Amino acid sequence: MAVVPAVFLRNPRYAILLVIAVLATVLVLSSTRSGVDDGGYLRQPLSSSTGSGKHSQAEWVKEAVREEEERYQMMLKDREAMVRRYGPTPDRVQAFPAGMLYTLWDFYLPAFQCPHRVERIGTMGDGGKWVCGFERVAKQSECTVYSFGINGESSFEAALMTRNPACQVWGYDFSVSAFGPEVDSVPSLQTRAHFFPYALGPRDAPSESPPMHTLKSLMHQNGHKWIDVLKIDIEGAEFGSLVRFIDDFTTTDPITGSNTTTLPVGQMQLEIHAREWSGYGDFEHYNAWWEKLERAGLRPFWTEANLVYINIFKSGVRPDLVEYSFLNIKGDHALVSDNYI
């Protein structure tokens, strides 16, 4: 015979309220779970409806990206205010001023949320990278990865190929002769890894030593029109290389004179070396370069300080080495649209 707690017998109204509360909780949890797709990795946009009714599932990612872009534009106004405070113009702002409560990186927050799972892929410490929505890329029948700067460590590239057997990696580094052992010692990965001792640069100079190529030229050589994951770690050469890359995919309207850029990449993992000798170690030049990336549709969704070389030299080194991950919000690809999933 079931035993009924005495508190329920003495307070039937309390028992009824308790049952109602439990049922309401179950209903709320059920409705929340039913609104999540893609393994629960997508987050709900803040505005779940428009004047014509709720967004369809096919519009969900697109709407999330739109809302994040609105927030990002608000952050840009905050950056302008910060420049006025410490400048008041970009040419007057110091990148790493002594005794001030800011550094260059405080102006460039990763304020754009990836609408999918963000995870660190590759080894812990130097070598791993933060990636947006690779569970979606892993579902694709084709997957193209470009990796510039191998330096004997390929845990990132190996993990991407392991996660998606369709992924192929094109690696470039003139300072080494092959991928790291994470790829080069695994026969099943070797067949999908293609290494070349080339330098990425702002111009094509194949006869120089080392041979230099622009990213557009390398894509043309490989017969590629799209890169799912672009990793660049080339010790300061990223500035000129990316300027040329953006210019190569920018068209100008002959009538209005307006420029349109559509980069053939889904996301980019970039180590930035804002060193004084690079030409972009001062705020004015760095800011102009960063804004060029933003106009091209690249939005930072993660950052991670690389403090290894500061730890080595201990003092007298400014913190000018940082990892950023960018999502390309332009175009129609798996990270900003459901058309490919």
- Tell me the pLDDT tens digit for each residue of 247-304: 999 999 999 989 999 999 999 999 999 998 999 999 999 999 999 999 999 999 999 9
Q: Residue 265: its pLDDT value, please?
A: 98
- State the first-to-last Cα distance of the chain, in angstroms, to the nearest integer: 54
| One domain for residues 12 and 124 | no
Establish if 295 belongs to a structural domain.
yes
Q: Residue 18: its pLDDT value, please?
A: 52
Residue type, position 332, single letter: D
> Are 249 and 262 within 8 A, CB to CB?
yes
Q: Strand 167-172 relative to strand 143-148: parallel, antiparallel, unpaired?
A: parallel
The 10 Å Cβ neighbour count of residue 68 is 21
> Are 17 and 36 within 8 A, CB to CB?
no
Query: Distance between CA 328 and CA 137 in Å, rounded?
Result: 14
Domain span at residue 110?
A: 59-328
How many structural domains are present in the chain?
2
Establish if 340 belongs to a structural domain.
no
Q: Residue 30: its pLDDT value, please?
A: 47
Is it the case that residue 122 has pLDDT exceeding 80?
yes
Name residues whose C-beta falls within 8 Å of residue 277's C-beta, 6 or more positions apart in sequence.
236
Establish if 236 belongs to a structural domain.
yes
| One domain for residues 27 and 66 | no
> Are 84 and 275 within 8 A, CB to CB?
no
| One domain for residues 25 and 164 | no
Cis status, amide bond into 88, omega within 30 of 0: yes
Q: What is the mean pLDDT of residues 125-141?
A: 93
Query: Distance between CA 1 and CA 154 in Å, rounded?
Result: 66
Q: Residue 292: its pLDDT value, please?
A: 98
Q: What is the mean pLDDT of residues 89-112?
A: 96
| One domain for residues 11 and 86 | no
Q: Strand 167-172 relative to strand 193-196: parallel, antiparallel, unpaired?
A: parallel
Name residues whose C-beta falls within 8 Å of residue 67's C-beta, 6 or more positions apart in sequence.
45, 46, 47
Which pTM was predicted?
Answer: 0.83
| One domain for residues 83 and 196 | yes
Q: Residue 44: its pLDDT value, please?
A: 46
Query: Distance between CA 83 and CA 89 in Å, rounded?
Result: 6
> Are 322 and 306 within 8 A, CB to CB?
yes
Is it the case that residue 308 has pLDDT exceeding 70?
yes
Establish if 261 belongs to a structural domain.
yes
- Tell me the pLDDT tens digit for each residue of 161-189: 999 999 999 999 999 999 999 999 999 99
| One domain for residues 318 and 179 | yes
- Tell me the pLDDT tens digit for each residue of 207-218: 999 999 999 999
Query: Distance between CA 110 and CA 236 in Å, rounded?
Result: 20
| One domain for residues 191 and 316 | yes
Q: Residue 334: its pLDDT value, please?
A: 93
Query: Distance between CA 60 and CA 82 in Å, rounded?
Result: 33
Q: Residue 53: its pLDDT value, please?
A: 43
| One domain for residues 21 and 143 | no
- Tell me the pLDDT tens digit for each residue of 32-60: 434 434 443 444 444 444 444 445 555 88
Is it the case that residue 104 has pLDDT exceeding 90?
yes
| One domain for residues 69 and 10 | no
> Are 46 and 71 within 8 A, CB to CB?
no
CATH code of the domain covering residue 264: 3.40.50.150
